[in-house]
Amino acid sequence: MELFWYIIIALVLTIFFILDGYNFGTGIIHLFFAKKEKDKKVVAKAAGLFWDFNEVWLVAGGGMLFMAFPTFYASVFSGFYLPLIIVLWLIVFRAIGLEFRSQFNNTMWTAIWDTSFGISSLLLALFFGIALGNIVRGVNLGGVENEISLYEPHYFFLPLWDSSFSPLTEHPGVIDYFTIIIGIIAVVTLAIHGATWIRLKTNASINKKLKNVIFNLNIVLLVLTIFSIVVWQIVNPNSLDNFAKRPYLIIFPIIYFTGLFGLFFIKKIKKDSYNFALSTLLIIGGITSSLASIFPVILPSTNSINESLTIYNTATTDYGLSVAFNWVIIGVILLVIYIIIQKRLLKGKIDKMDYGH
């Protein structure tokens, strides 16, 4: 049952980053490339019509995590308290930026909320990438100093950064040179994803330009990917051992690189749906490869005193998992109904659909 719930939660959170990921990316594109008011309105609609539905998947993932792996849930929500509060405020400002921009026909008013939408989207992509970097890097579980645990074995607390800015220090912060690389990769990936979404759902005048933007960002992503693998080997020389022990896990990096190399042909691919599928593969492959590299661990311990948190030592009882299974069936049915309704209402191009009035 632990493995089943791990797969389900990973799937739900991956769907969230695919769906809300294009909203983050749309905000980044809106911030840097939408210069004309008509483009700003259309690009904002490409996110605004979908964001509230897409965030349902984050709520669902958090609820499932609480039901199935309560120890892990308690550990990360206390240990990552500061960045989680920042993410919460960014989600708020991203939402009100979308909702408020069209309430008054005033240049200064729309500029303020356009900036709110763009910057919060950019920082959300950055912080979610940093979060993934922290999960892969690990934390000092138990707050060990001089081989003595200061807290319970599953507890930790991270400052936003350590003065050394190094992932190799005894007490690393949330932000270090490794996690910031993963954060930048997330920003570039979601910007690409947002650009393919804008091309798929709108007829904005910047769509032709976005093909070049995607191609150039893909070059940056390839360089960052290779660089991150090298740095990852420095941070954890055993980071790729799981793929040698379990060769079937190599499918996940293959998914990532299929999307990455496929997007180099974006200027030749005519169907926008194919481009969106390729950027989706980037997200699926990136998240699953990261999780597969540490499986069955879900939060590595950077010390030798307290063991890492795994899907087995953080799961609730068998009875709890079985009860949660019954509830997830109901939740999935509701999500499927929600998806069907949304897709019927918002199919095709959204340029002429009303939003924010």
pLDDT tens, position by position, 81-134: 888 999 999 999 988 888 887 777 777 888 888 899 999 999 999 999 999 999
Split at pLDDT 50, 70, 90, the class of 154 is: confident
CA dihedral sign of residues 341, 343, 346, 347: negative
Give mean pLDDT, residues 74-83: 89
Give mean pLDDT, residues 296-318: 87
pLDDT at 357: 47
Instruction: Evaluate if residue 174 carries a pLDDT over 70.
Output: yes
180 and 132 in contact (C-beta within 8 Å)? no
Split at pLDDT 50, 70, 90, the class of 67 is: confident
Instruction: Evaluate if residue 180 carries a pLDDT over 90.
Output: yes
- What is the C-alpha separation between 95 and 116, in angstroms, rounded? 9
Q: If we measure between CA atoms, which residue out of 205, 234, 133 comes closest to residue 175?
A: 133
200: number of CA atoms within 13 Å, CB side?
A: 22
Give mean pLDDT, residues 140-162: 82
pLDDT at 126: 95
Instruction: Evaluate if residue 26 carries a pLDDT over 50.
Output: yes
Split at pLDDT 50, 70, 90, the class of 356 is: low
Give mean pLDDT, residues 244-257: 92
pLDDT at 102: 76
- Computed over every residue of the chain, the mean pLDDT equals 88
Give mean pLDDT, residues 49-73: 86
Instruction: Evaluate if residue 218 carries a pLDDT over 50.
Output: yes
Give mean pLDDT, residues 18-36: 90
Instruction: Evaluate if residue 296 carries a pLDDT over 50.
Output: yes
- In this prediction, what percent of the chain has a pLDDT beyond 90? 38
Q: If we measure between CA atoms, which residue out of 243, 311, 252 comes closest to residue 283?
A: 252
pLDDT at 1: 75
For residue 301, what are its two tokens?
């311990």
Instruction: Evaluate if residue 178 carries a pLDDT over 90.
Output: yes
Q: 256-265, 315-324, 342-351 — which is least confidently predicted?
A: 342-351
Query: Which residues have CB under 8 Å from 154's CB, separation 6+?
Result: 71, 74, 75, 141, 142, 306, 309, 314
Count other C-beta atoms under 10 Å from residue 171's C-beta.
16
Give mean pLDDT, residues 212-225: 95
SS3 142: coil
Instruction: Evaluate if residue 185 carries a pLDDT over 60.
Output: yes
Split at pLDDT 50, 70, 90, the class of 236 is: confident
Split at pLDDT 50, 70, 90, the class of 227 is: very high
180 versus 141: which is more confidently predicted? 180
User: How far, in whole angstroms, is CA 16 from its chain's centroid?
Assistant: 8
